[in-house]
Amino acid sequence: MCGIVGIINSNELKVKSLNILSKLEYRGYDSAGVSFLSNKKIKTITEVGKISKLSKSLTSTYDNFHSVIGHTRWATHGVVSKNNAHPFSDQKISLVCNGIIENYKDLQKKYLAHYKKNIESDVETVFLVLKELSKKINDKYKLIKKLKSILRGNYAFLIYFSDTEETYALKAGSPLSIGKKMNSVYFSSDPSALDEYIYEIYHLHDGDVLRVSKSEVSFLNNNKVKFLPYQQSTNKFSKGDFKHFMIKEIHEQPIVLKNTQKYYDKDYFVDFRDKLKDLLQESNSFVFVGCGTAYHACLTAKYYFEKFTSINVSCEYASELRYKNINNKNSKAIYIFISQSGETMDTLMALKYVKSKGFNSIVITNSLESTMVREANITLPTFAMKEIGVASTKAFTCQLLALANLCLEVGVINKNLNSKEYLKLKKDLRNIPSKLNKILKMDNYLDKIVNLLSSAKACYFIARNNVFPIALEGSLKLKEISYMHSEGFAGGEMKHGPIALIDKEVVSICLNPNNELFEKSNSNCEEILARGGKVIVFSSKTSGSKKNLFEVILPKETYIDAPFIYTMPLQLISYYYALNEGTDIDQPRNLAKSVTVE
């Protein structure tokens, strides 16, 4: 989940490295550091905290250096401290890593038993082991080959040797890309951070070891790297007129959903439908796989598919699936993996595991250059553009849109939906942006809800059917960015335990679409009110004025658009409550945007 950068054979190293690192900060912001590199000289500066703090410590222009490697950290092994900040370096070697070295304790016992210092970090362990190995192995080719052979885990390394002025890049699981422009070479965990600097690019594959000597790039076996032309991303790293990326990205949802649906209608599903037909001929079930917010998209998809198709569907946490014993005697299931970045480690490893068992797979992602795209049979892209805020908003609703469209295509192919039903549902999807724009214009309820949350000790989200996953997502958003204790419950489960939590210091948010379950959900609200709890109801139908009940009337929903309509208000109240609490909304504590470690 860390971010690494390398700039080889270039100028303005301070400005460029800070600019790229700031774009990678969503990957971790516990500490940051850089090593400026030249012949027989390495200058390393690290700081605990964000890139802005590191920037203040860089007091020189560093014009007498030709290269730099840098790092922004999300702590895994070892406390947040300058001692555990990357790069790890001396005057001979500098090293940064994104990932986890699983066997670092074994490495310590084998190579560092004579060290009296307490070594907390897995990466510091690798640095010290590399130093020990270098005492016996002078040849850098053999040294790197030996290092690679003893490492176990998922990682991406940049390693610089000052005596030969060579930089080595190693990849095994964690993302890393290399780009070029003229005689300069750039590395980054996220290629979009290199937009303004490169003309061509190569995405490292697992097992790759690259060597950069001045401007020459080759594999460890001396084969040349085949670069491809680089297309700049259209979404810039800018908040525009908004205070935070999160609120900007909430407001971008109508336009990104409109553009995504337009692409699905005009181009994408024309070709996708044929590929899907081929897969469905061999399939009798779908398994949706994700983590966090993406898992809530999986749960929503399950309701869609059970409503509009005859396909058997189930959902799995990626972190659990990868360690399950899957029966591959009947490989007729299609596994659908959902990941905003396409690099989520648990999801990626689950995909590779399922693939090894002979199952077909579909990936839904916002990043077409990601590792998961290269692993899957079919990719269903979302077009949310770059999402910077750690708490997912527009990426989530674009995932829902992709899943809704996929469901309708399956429904038609399997003859569960006729042409009239299909066209009606597609129209409902095209109408979603206009409904969300109406919600964005509704702001009279926000202050009231923020005040209610401010005086509460906990908040519970309650819903039924296809907005139950949205209750889970609303709860996750609130706890992610405000740190308030929150849980999501299925309405029918309240009397089976959770209602014991209700008292006058608790706020419950009920999602109650105007459908066949409206009265049952309304009864849940009554049960909470009867026990002294405060209730906020989001619905398109009023349930009448009651003490301790606050209603927010939303646009009229259909079954397929209800998850979208009930998501946006929950994103907004989470944002404004966190704003009121003064938390770091775009970079909440202990979290990172792209979870590329287990």
Q: 119 lies in a domain?
A: yes
CA 92 to chain centre: 36
Which is higher by pLDDT, 547 or 53? 53
Name 297's Cβ contacts closer than 8 Å, sequence gap at least 6: 288, 290, 338, 364, 396, 399, 400, 403, 469
Q: How confident is the model at residue 234 (pLDDT cuts 50, 70, 90)?
A: low
Whose tokens are 């935070």? That residue is: 244
202 lies in the same domain as 338? no
Instruction: Indicate whether 437 belongs to any domain.
Output: no
User: What confidence tens digit (pLDDT) does each residue in 120-157 have?
Assistant: 899 999 999 999 999 999 999 999 999 999 999 999 99
Same domain membership, residue 525 and residue 554: yes
Domain C-terminal end among 395, 410, 430: 430
Tell me if 435 is assigned to some domain: no
pLDDT digits (tens, 9 = 90+) for 154-174: 999 999 999 999 999 999 989
- Is residue 261 domain-shared with residue 209, that is, in the same domain? no
Note the pLDDT tens digit of each residue in 398-434.
999 999 999 999 999 999 999 999 999 999 999 999 9
pLDDT at 518: 86
- Residues that are catalytic: 2, 593
Decide the pairing of beta strands 312-317 and 285-290.
parallel
70 shares its domain with 8: yes
| Residues 219 and 361 occupy one common structural domain | no
Q: Within this chain, do residues 527 and 592 fall inside the same structural domain, yes or no?
A: yes
Whether residues 423 and 567 share a domain: the answer is no
For position 274, what pLDDT does the model report?
78
Say what the pLDDT of residue 160 is.
97
CATH of the domain at 487: 3.40.50.10490
Percentage of the residues of the chain whose pLDDT score is greater than 90: 75
- Give residue 329's pLDDT band: very low, low, confident or very high (50, 70, 90): low
Please give the residue range of the domain that contains residue 361.
Answer: 236-430
Residue 436 inside a domain? The answer is: no
- Of the ranges 76-90, 243-257, 542-556, which one carries the lowest mean pLDDT score? 542-556
DSSP string across 141-186: HHHHHHHHHH--EEEEEEEEETTTTEEEEEEEBS--EEEEETTEEE
Q: What is the pTM of this model?
A: 0.87
List strands edge to edge, sheet with 534-539: 486-490, 458-463, 506-511, 534-539, 549-553
Q: State whether 18 and 146 are in the same domain.
A: yes
DSSP letter string over 34-99? EEEEETTEEEEEEEES-HHHHHHH--S--TT-SEEEEEEE--SSS-SSSTTPSPEE-SSEEEEEEE
Tens digits of per-residue pLDDT, 38-68? 987 999 999 999 999 999 999 888 989 999 9
Total tally of structural domains belonging to the chain = 3
